[in-house]
Amino acid sequence: GIQVEQSPPDLILQEGANSTLRCNFSDSVNNLQWFHQNPWGQLINLFYIPSGTKQNGRLSATTVATERYSLLYISSSQTTDSGVYFCAVEYYNFNKFYFGSGTKLNVKP
Amino acid sequence: GAGVSQSPRYKVAKRGQDVALRCDPISGHVSLFWYQQALGQGPEFLTYFQNEAQLDKSGLPSDRFFAERPEGSVSTLKIQRTQQEDSAVYLCASSLGTEQYFGPGTRLTVT
């Protein structure tokens, strides 16, 4: 069946540390997005990245579609990075996102 | 508007009541999606519209759930005879075809 697996499920960092979040998916994707869900529940778009590498400030993401995984890198973490990070994939011929269960990040000052 | 808006932000309903949740997508976005997010989990797909046409409603959990988008812009998700298991955050997203943009959600609590 269709699966989206994220790891680790929980992550605690000291402010300033770097981290890598992983998303594995089970089939060819038409769309892949990374979101940050803030403590108020808002899903904030980080990257639209069905393949390749993108960078935005301290964040970057890489998707290797042929190997069915995506990575989100957070460098020099800040307390405001805390929250839940979701990977969501849209498979070909399906007009819907399948979400992973998220990585809950807590950045301590 | 600048982003997807949803109303109300919070709704408390007694079991058995009907509720209606509203979504205003980003202007011009053809595609609109509803998702349900239970506490501690990722969002799960409910239904999808392209303009006014409901093309996929495979995620609606029961026939108590109904969604419409009559003029191809604003959408309403209606839940009839609410049950406790309906308690969740209901998220709306809109898209021009690639990226989906999410609203702030409506937190529904059924008592």
Which 1-30 residues of chain B touch chain A by CB within 8 A?
Answer: none
In DSSP notation, B36-58 reads EE-TTS--EEEEEEETTEEEE-T
What does the block give as tokens for B73? Answer: 């812009």
Q: Which two tokens stand for residue A52?
A: 């390749």
pLDDT single digits (tens) A71-98: 999 999 999 999 999 999 998 767 788 9
* Interface check B45 vs A, CB under 8 A: yes
pLDDT at res. B2: 82
What residues of A are in contact with residue B94 (Cβ under 8 Å)?
Answer: none
**pLDDT computed for residue A94 by the predictor:** 72
Residue type, A106: N
Kindly tell me if the per-residue pLDDT of A1 is higher than 70: no
Whether B104 and A40 lie within 8 Å, measured CB to CB: yes
- What is the average per-residue pLDDT within A13-17? 97
What CA–CA distance (Å, rounded) separates B107 from A32? Answer: 26
What span, in angstroms and rounded, lies between the C-alpha atoms of B20 and B40? 24
**Average per-residue pLDDT in chain A?**
94
Residue ranges of chain B whose pLDDT lies below 70: 1
Amino acid B62: pLDDT: 95
pLDDT at A43 over 60: yes
Residue A28: pLDDT band (50, 70, 90) is confident
CA distance B102 to chain A (A): 6
pLDDT interval class at A12 (50, 70, 90): very high
Q: Is the pLDDT of residue A29 over 90?
A: no
Q: Return the amino acid letter for B60.
A: L
A101 with B42: Cβ contact below 8 A: yes
For residue A19, what are its two tokens?
A: 């981290």
Q: What is the pLDDT of residue A76?
A: 97
| Interface contact B100, partner A, CB < 8 A | yes
Q: Which residues of A touch B101 (CB under 8 A)?
A: 45
